[in-house]
Structure 1
Amino acid sequence: MTVGGENLGGASRVQLLGAIGECGSITQAAKLVKMSYKAAWDAIDAMNNLAGEPLVERLTGGKGGGGTRLTPRGRQLVDNFQVIEREHARYLQQLESQAEGIADDLLLIRRMAMKTTARNQFLGKVTQLTTGAVNDEVTLTLPGGQQIVAVVTQGSSASLGLGPGVEAFALIKASSIILVTDTEGARFSARNQLSGAVTRVQTGAVNTEVVLDLPAGGTIAAIITNQSSSDLGIEVGRSVTAIFKASSVILGVPAA
């Protein structure tokens, strides 16, 4: 959902707006959409700021002691989103009826159009979610069977709707990857270790980009110094392990 080129969020935020319109209470609306009171107000504040005009406004005083309500612009946004959502679903149904796999490829094209500074992008499904006191540990299994572990805050985990079976993508900067050529007998604190064969080496003035082909499919790129590349004897065909911390992984979910 975008207004004036600004991304206001997905279906969950529209559901929150719709619930506010029905209940006239932020507390009741938050409960209906299974969102905390603080998260609801944070979402509303963000949407109001990004839209450039209020979508939700507070009511003070009165017989009921105040409350919240949608502004005319907020109501228009909810109504229009519902129309667009119906038309989008109808469009996908038409594509599926015309040719097998077109709808899936349409979603793939949308993913490929995603722009990010992270060199490494992996799409997979959440297979495990371990909740901690402050952070959650998320295990993402890639189509080739490899697993990536990420540590994110509970707030981020909840806002993304992460859980077993949820499709998500992992972003890892190439500069966060450490390459190791001999892991036998060695132990590392980094949770993620992906091994593969070097397929490309591009040397620059200071750094070298190294790309590994992973056995089950996919690639991973790392940026290391030229000196490190020389010391490790990096060359095409050599087996290398890419390691990176769970805290270096950024998780996202495809747009609804």
Structure 2
Amino acid sequence: MTTRRRDSKARPLAVKGSLWITSGDESLGGHGRIALLRSVAEHGSITQAAKAYGMSYKAAWDAIDTMNRVSGEPVVERSTGGRGGGSTRLTAHGERLVQRYTQLDAVHQRFVAMLAEQAFDLDQDYSLLQALNMKTTARNQFLGTVTAVRSGAVNDEVEVTLAGGTRVVAIIPRDGTESLGLRTQLAVIVLVPSAHVLLATGLDGARLSARNQLAGTVAAVRPGAVNAEVVLALTGGGQLVATVTSASVDTLGLAEGIPAVALVKASDVILAVLA
């Protein structure tokens, strides 16, 4: 087996995306057909619009005929006769369609740009939450999928599997489960305030009541005047930040490379969904 060396001159990987309009299983069109409609509006002629857009009259007419049929209402109409010999123009429905597509495409391009930023820097972890510009006071934010919902009389127990396979359990009030629409296979955001993360060492054989016990290795210790911020590299992937007292750092002997376990009560786990 041979390993190919990285080509320093290779073009970087990137993310691209196109916005398409569909009706049922049929495609009305995307950027190209909307551009054709704009050309029709500008030139008042399918022939001239096709020429300006660089396509044959037949291809332009077939595209417009498809859009007229799929959209439910005509997007282009033709008038014949008269001193000018007739003309072609967008209907009111066609004008609204072009305007709405333009608005949605602008949002879509911004979203693709957010996803693309550092998306294929494979040496770095990718944070979808950061890409979506989501800001909360919780230091720990993870993307996961609901894998189980166990209903109770007052509260529900929701199990979430994170990207690296680590499982986290959250206790959610019944009305919270309903308002968020929590169900299996739903993508959710897991938030854990760093102050609610307890760290422990030497727990081999110990039995604890904390539902969430996340093993890892201390990646960094950032001391402060009273408290310290400890970054734990989780065994299943990702990092968890805990705010602990400086005295606890000394007592536990927390330092880079030391194995530790993060303990988080299920009631301290917050779940959120993308609206």
Q: TM-score range by the shorter chain?
A: 0.5 to 0.7
C-alpha distance in 1 between matches for 2:138 and 2:218: 20
Matched, 1:173 2:168: no
Alignment of 1:146 with 2:159, yes or no, is no
Corresponding residue of 2:143? 123
Partner of 2:175: 155
Q: In the alignment, which of 90, 93, 114 is matched to residue 134 of structure 2?
A: 114
CA distance in 1, matches of 2:100, 2:239: 37
Relative to structure 1, the CA distance from residue 163 to residue 182 in structure 2 (aligned partners, 3 Å threshold; closer, same or farther) is same
> C-alpha distance in 2, partners of 1:167/1:186?
33
In structure 2, stretches of 5+ residues that fail to align are 1-98, 120-126
CA distance in 2, matches of 1:136, 1:86: 43
Q: Where do residues 1-256 of structure 1 align in structure 2 (5 Å cutoff)?
A: 88=104, 92=108, 108=128, 112-255=132-275
Q: 1:167 to 1:234 in 2, by over 3 A?
A: same
Q: Is the 8 A contact 1:190 1:245 kept in 2?
A: yes
Contact 1:150 1:249 in 2 (8 A): yes
Taking the aligned partners of 1:191 and 1:246, their CA distance within structure 2 comes to: 6
Aligned letter for 1:235?
Answer: A
Larger radius of gyration: 2
Q: CA deviation at 1:187?
A: 1.0
Residue 253 to residue 94, structure 1, CA distance change in 2 (3 Å): closer
Give the Å deviation of 1:88.
3.7
Q: Secondary structure at the match of 2:262?
A: strand
Deviates more, 1:108-117 or 1:231-240: 108-117
Matches of 1:236 and 1:110 in 2, distance apart? 26
Q: Percent identity?
A: 44
Instruction: Give the distance between the partners of 1:191 and 1:202, measured in 2 at CA.
Output: 27
**Is the alpha carbon distance of 1:90 and 1:189 closer, same or farther for their aligned partners in structure 2, counting shifts above 3 Å?**
same
Q: Distance in 2 between matches of 1:184 and 1:239?
A: 11
- Report the Cα offset of residue 89 of structure 1: 7.8
Post-superposition shift, 1:182?
1.1
Q: What SS does the corresponding residue of 1:196 show, helix, strand or coil?
A: strand
User: Could you tell me how far apart the structure 2 residues matched to 1:120 and 1:109 are?
Assistant: 11
* Residue-by-residue CA offset, 1:187-243 (whole Å, 9 max, x unaligned): 111100111111110110111110011123210010111111100000000000000
Task: Provide Cα deviations, 1:11-49, integer angstroms capped at 9, x if missing partner.
Answer: xxxxxxxxxxxxxxxxxxxxxxxxxxxxxxxxxxxxxxx
Letter in 2 for 1:132: G
Count of residue pairs brought into register by the alignment: 168
Aligned-pair distance for 1:87? 5.4
More helix, by proportion: 1
TM-score, normalising length from structure 2? 0.55
Question: Which residue of 2 is the match for residue 63 of structure 1?
Answer: none
Gaps of 5+ in 1: 1-82
Q: Is the 8 A contact 1:111 1:254 kept in 2?
A: no
Contact 2:128 2:143 in 1 (8 A): no
